[in-house]
Amino acid sequence: MAAGFRGPSARAQRAAYPAGYRPLFLGTGTGGGGDRGRVHRWSVGRDRMRRTKIVCTLGPASQSEETMREMIRAGMDVARINFSHGSHEIHARNIALVRRLAREEGQVLAVLCDLQGPKLRVGEIAAQVTLREGQDFNLTTRPVPGDDQEVNFPHPEVIGDVRPGGRVLLDDGLLELEVVGTTPTDIRCRVITGGPLKSHKGVSLLGVSLNLPSLTEKDREDAAFAIQQGVDYLALSFVRRAEDVSQLRDLLEQNQASIPIIAKIEKREAVEAFEQIIEISDGAMVARGDLGVEAPAEEVPIYQKRIIRLANEVGKPVITATQMLNS
């Protein structure tokens, strides 16, 4: 994840935040800059001339002590914890470990926790399966073990909104299904674009307007855990409007916490309302994977540049994320 922007002036920073509010400021992109105003801890102690910082996700492939140490030495400025996967026990272990390693390496490193948000996902699949073009495949609310014929879809509230002929995208659009019919428990589909499918991959129902809460019960539990861990930033997923950010801000204030909020922009509604969203957020993230499902791929760079420009103008950090160095 990365994105750079000119370090904001002290005047711009004062205008961007309410009186008395002292955020740990990220200067450029995912951190840094801010040289004439508040300096975020991400920019201290390493490569002061590097204007763009690096956010790395800690997960199964990168949670060993050796790998984390190598990542810190290679230039990781921010460790991202993805609440869509893993338990609080695992996350607490990773946060403690990466902080200890950063101290040992003499580096100052921030921790960003990413709330899952109201994203639709498939359930458990016993092993990776491969869907073939033209085959039938069901999304079902029944508690079935996932295989190459059907998978649990624990979102019964949306089935009534799905219509035959609709498109269903799985795993950030890598797989595409066509809806052929529904029952009270199932969305029956035909595979248009096949490929491998693993547990808990995202589901997008194109053209279906979902009335889902901006903060789920899981998000509230994860936010409480993040407060307990004293993390540096919280990223709010699937923001649609400024009020979504306000809800998280209220939750933090109720718990006497002032963790800065990064609004993840991955919905068309968020792109259209971005000026209002960035006004009350502490930063933004261009989540290109999910945004690329919502919009044609050729439009995503246009949205990305606009979001970065508007964040720069108000002196707030902006992160470009997903599909980094994908080729």
The CATH number of the domain holding residue 310 is 3.20.20.60
User: pLDDT value at position 49?
Assistant: 60
User: pLDDT value at position 144?
Assistant: 94
**28 is known as an active-site residue:** no
Per DSSP bridges, beta strands 195-197 and 129-131 are antiparallel
The domain that contains 125 carries what CATH number?
A: 2.40.33.10
Per DSSP bridges, beta strands 261-265 and 233-236 are parallel
> Which DSSP letter does residue 325 get?
T
CA distance 35 to 29: 14
Do 110 and 216 belong together in one domain?
A: yes
Do 131 and 111 belong together in one domain?
A: no
- Which of 169, 185, 205 finishes a domain? 205
Domain-embedded: residue 260 = yes
Count of alpha carbons within 13 Å of 281, Cβ hemisphere only?
34
Q: Is 60 exceeded by the pLDDT of residue 184?
A: yes
More confident site: 265 or 210? 265
Q: Which of 80, 267, 288, 316 is catalytic?
A: 80
| Rg of the chain over all Cα atoms, to the nearest angstrom | 20
Residue 47 binned pLDDT confidence (cut-offs 50, 70, 90): low
Instruction: Give me the sign of the Cα torsion angle 111, 82, 195, 169.
Output: negative
Do 170 and 222 belong together in one domain?
A: no
Q: Which of 121, 198, 201, 218 is catalytic?
A: 121
Least confident of 24-28, 52-56, 71-75, 288-292: 24-28
Do 179 and 30 belong together in one domain?
A: no
**322 is known as an active-site residue:** yes
Do 75 and 124 belong together in one domain?
A: no
Length of the chain as a residue count: 327
Q: Is 60 exceeded by the pLDDT of residue 32?
A: no
Domain count, the chain: 2
Q: Is 80 exceeded by the pLDDT of residue 11?
A: no
In degrees and rounded to multiples of 5, residue 301 shows phi and psi of -60, -30
Domain-embedded: residue 113 = yes
Q: Is 60 exceeded by the pLDDT of residue 26?
A: no
Do 148 and 284 belong together in one domain?
A: no
Contacts of residues 83-92 at CB distance under 8 Å and 24 or more positions apart, as own/partner, are 83/113, 83/114, 83/115, 83/116, 83/218, 83/219, 83/222, 84/114, 84/116, 84/119, 84/121, 84/200, 85/59, 85/200, 86/59, 88/222, 88/225, 90/63, 91/225, 91/229, 92/225, 92/229
Residue 40 binned pLDDT confidence (cut-offs 50, 70, 90): very low
- Which of 188, 205, 222 finishes a domain? 205
Domain-embedded: residue 4 = no
Name residues whose C-beta falls within 8 Å of residue 173's C-beta, 6 or more positions apart in sequence: 204, 292, 293
Q: Which of 264, 267, 288, 316 is catalytic?
A: 264
Domain-embedded: residue 314 = yes
For the stretch 251-289, pLDDT in tens is 999 999 999 999 999 988 899 999 999 999 999 999 998
Domain-embedded: residue 14 = yes
Do 33 and 81 belong together in one domain?
A: yes
Least confident of 80-89, 203-212, 217-226: 203-212
Do 50 and 197 belong together in one domain?
A: no
Do 220 and 311 belong together in one domain?
A: yes
User: pLDDT value at position 322?
Assistant: 82
Domain-embedded: residue 32 = yes
State CA 269 to chain mean position distance.
Answer: 16
Do 63 and 190 belong together in one domain?
A: no
CA 19 vs CA 166, 245, 275: distances in Å: 49, 19, 20
Domain-embedded: residue 28 = yes
Do 242 and 107 belong together in one domain?
A: yes
Do 235 and 288 belong together in one domain?
A: yes
Asked if 274 contacts 239 with a C-beta cutoff of 8 angstroms, the reply is no
Task: Note down the domain range covering 167.
Answer: 120-205
**132 is known as an active-site residue:** no
User: pLDDT value at position 294?
Assistant: 78
Residue 291 binned pLDDT confidence (cut-offs 50, 70, 90): confident
Mean pLDDT, residues 136-158 taken together: 95
User: pLDDT value at position 44?
Assistant: 44
Domain-embedded: residue 84 = yes
- pTM for the whole thing? 0.75
- Which of 170, 205, 240 finishes a domain? 205
**264 is known as an active-site residue:** yes
> Which DSSP letter does residue 125 get?
B
User: pLDDT value at position 173?
Assistant: 86
